[in-house]
Structure 1
């Protein structure tokens, strides 16, 4: 039996709403999805029953058919969600694929990433581009945090700082996204893809525009992993890593050690990064 999705309210808007709800509360979204599937099934049953009933031909016309279809949809909605109905069984089946914790989504193939649209942004006083950046990269940051021991908030905030919350994405020469979220340059030992970009460097405290080669990646997740590998695998950043792991709530200490190790030439880099980390933590609490 083929279910006609156009005959009921499971359209693009309602699907997007379910995806957004799944990002906030997977269990309630599963329940809502189960009810919609049951309503679709009941509506199809009503249609098949109507089709099996002989029509007199005297009163039937297009207007009466539309009225009958609307009435069938109303009956289907009223019969949905009743105790012992199909929705409970559908909900149990859908729940088997849910990740146990939000951080499991990237690795288990469950609800991979929060979906658009974002909820109640004006009420939460969160700029849309800021919320979207956190929504897009939060899972990758948490996954790499579990692998490396670096705080997800620190990595997410540094990526936000380097890219202007995703609005200044690095491009390769062919116009494709380099997915370099941390401004990591391509040194002599780098054998991967490269993007040549005009950037600002500070020489003796003076800002200068220079063209430099940066690493390019196939995905943002690859960028997070390479950043973690760079910090944890280089003795130069040992103090920054130790500070982050020992005090994951001390953004200022991590940023100071990172600048001292020479991660960036901007003399205000540590102060700027610490502010962005604190902002990232507040925004995530607001969106929770």
Structure 2
């Protein structure tokens, strides 16, 4: 296509919006409207309406009052494309083996547009198990999967995930020093174990599937229940080891082909 054809089919407003998104994608800490204009060589007034629309549509958020930063919405949209399907296809055989070895159900979870979302589910092999439907959106602060997804993200990404989850809500009541210390502990030991906040008698055992850059692209979780009628089933400590081993295998399988850019 010639330069003349390129000019004929230009869409200035779209170009302006894409310029903003591409610029913010390479900046930590966000930029003010004036800084965006300066870097793009334009007048600040040219970007007021565009920034307003990007904020209203959820692609950009305001931080510290006058700075603009990307949300994770673009990553969430990417989850509708090949990476999550490819990840699930890698994971299903490992999840099946985990269910057989542990006698428990398990699920694979990614972060998508403000919430952890179940993208694959493996039933328990026996009569009893806790199942969550594929596509279910679960809590970020009160689930093992949510904790793991936060723990294995860099602080700026973690902050964006929390902001997107809360929307206009106040994070102060959730993001306490104790909560951040728990995330540090999870990262140090490599997994989370916590009583379910939704179902009595269930303990969530969660570990990260890591991309090539060491960032969590997914969490694998066993909602562990004590099987009284299956005395030879692995106990909670043994099941935790099985979960960690399964995620290590998945990390090896996906690490060469996935990075945090493939995750939401």
Instruction: Determine if the TM-score, normalized by the shorter chain, exceeds 0.5.
Output: no
Structure possessing the higher radius of gyration over alpha carbons: 1
Higher helix share: 1
Bigger relative contact order, structure 1 or 2 (CA pairs below 8 A, ≥6 apart) = 2
The two structures have a TM-score, normalised by structure 1, of: 0.29
